[in-house]
Amino acid sequence: MRSAIIIGAGIAGIATALRLRAAGLAVDVFEANNYPGGKLHAFELEGYRFDAGPSLFTLPELVTELFLLFGEKPEDFFQYHRKESVCNYFWEDGMRFVVNADREIFAKEAATKFGVEATSILAYLKKSQKKYELTSPIFLEKSLHKIGTYLSMDTLKAMVQMSHLDIGTNLNSLNESNISEPHLIQLFNRYATYNGSSPYLTPGIMSMIPHLELHKGTYFPKDGMHSITSSLYQLALRNGIQFHFDQKIEQILVKEKQAVGVKVNDNQHFADFIVSNMDIVSTYKKLLPEETPPERTIQQERSSSAVIFYWGIRKQFDELDLHNIFFSNNYRKEFAHLFEHKTIYEDPTVYINISCKELLTDAPEGSENWFVMINAPGDFGQDWELFVAQARQNIIAKVNRLLGVNIEPLIEVEEVLTPPLIEQRTRSYQGSLYGAASNSKFSAFLRHSNFSRKIKHLYFSGGSVHPGGGIPLCLLSAKITSDLITSAS
């Protein structure tokens, strides 16, 4: 039986392992932490449960199809429901708006709220859908680094309609030319942060992202986001995948330009195929010290990171929902601070996720579990103790202003996550959340491939390689990687 070793039990590592196991390979997964899931895990703090990382769930079929590979009914092991609203938005001028998950209703309500034409919003969203449908089969579902991808009818169709993809303009300019209202421009600009980029730099093709929320839908797993990890982990165990926790890989073993195994705790483990779910930069720097890395790819600008406060709040807020955004009053300055100055702006956009709005047991009665996140630069050796202290003060001030409350006395428990801690716990270089940033029209093509061009039988999956970061793209990277391996077996 052919065999594979997966380095890292992040969501892409688990999904890759499942796909390879379904194809008949023996699979071992080595994980440096004592839990599966990477960023997608959970913890409890004095009666409050927190999903530690990703909080937005779209394209649930990418999860459920993994159960189908083994002939199992997904609903027996993993349940979820669709949200009727996407997000509650708050602005400093007192404007508030709840985005409905139905794009027709959203367009109608936004037109009334912001004094614009519903037809113009719908036209924008239909263009978003067209971009997604044109590019998804190429940029998201196949390797951009195999010639066969460019010889398909899907590619030809996309190339013919290239002018509709808005690759030559940035997202903000596109939004300004299509939507005249400042609140809505900022709302649609925010989608750049879904891959850790700046709306003033990332290409207009990223306007396809709203299609995922306002057409495909947003969802909540019955037992919280961590149940994505836990259900797939249990699926893997049921089907004979071996996990080795607290096992930090020291080196990928290469013999005659072919990956043959890994070294961990001075022991060697061999397999026919090696897959690194570890951040691509860290993979080269730490696990392949004798190999020459692809410098142009490795030196790409990294995506933004985050500072996250996990707060147990001794109060309930009816005006808040699962997803909530408190916007900065100067979005352009916020992103300039992030990507140019490598600092945190004094008036950051604040995202608050409250899972107990959907799962009541996540917080004690009468209380709420707040996952409070702001965009942050990667770790370049800044004074994070100072950054965190300033950010905490600025976040509290913003929440107080926009909700008319004194929030600090209500904070019952607190935990903080910073870019250095993100790197320490997940091996994500500089603490970036999505690997390389997408601040250039060439970013998709510069992102590292799912296979090594120089080392046979060495493959890569996860958010730092093609097609990118976030749960859906990590699951798609697992599919691309496993397809490459099974076609080579």
Contact 470, 462 (CB under 8 A): no
Please give the backbone phi and psi of residue 335, each rounded to the nearest 5 degrees, phi first. -75, -30
Domains defined along the chain, listed by start: 3-34+245-297+436-488 (3.50.50.60), 42-101+217-223+304-433 (3.90.660.20), 124-212 (no CATH)
Largest CA distance in the chain: 66
For residue 379, count other CB atoms closer than 10 A to its CB.
22
Rounded Cα–Cα distance for residues 48 and 106 (Å): 33
Contact 62, 14 (CB under 8 A): no
Q: What is the pLDDT along the chain (489 residues), one digit of tens a residue?
A: 999 999 999 999 999 999 999 999 999 999 999 999 999 999 999 999 999 999 999 999 999 999 999 999 999 999 999 999 999 999 999 999 999 999 999 999 999 999 999 999 999 999 999 988 887 766 666 555 554 544 455 555 555 555 567 888 999 999 999 998 999 999 999 999 998 999 999 999 899 999 988 888 999 999 999 999 999 999 999 999 999 999 999 999 999 999 999 999 999 999 999 999 999 999 999 999 988 888 877 788 899 999 999 999 999 999 999 999 999 999 999 999 999 999 999 999 999 999 999 999 999 999 999 999 999 999 999 999 999 999 999 999 999 999 999 999 999 999 999 999 999 999 999 999 998 888 876 665 578 889 999 999 999 999 999 898 899 999 999 999 999 999 886
Rounded Cα–Cα distance for residues 28 and 245 (Å): 11
Rounded Cα–Cα distance for residues 4 and 284 (Å): 19
Segment 439-472, tens digit of pLDDT: 876 665 578 889 999 999 999 999 999 898 899 9
Spatial CA neighbour of 136 closest among 485, 481, 482, 480 = 480
- Name 12's Cβ contacts closer than 8 Å, sequence gap at least 6: 277, 461, 462, 463, 474, 475, 477, 478, 481
Contact 325, 373 (CB under 8 A): no
414-424 residues labelled b (16+ CB within 10 A) or e (exposed): eeebbbbebbe
Q: Which residue, chain included where needed, has tokens 């940029």?
A: 139
Q: How many CA atoms lie within 13 A of 192 on its CB side?
A: 30
Beta bridge partners of residue 368, listed in sequence order: 313
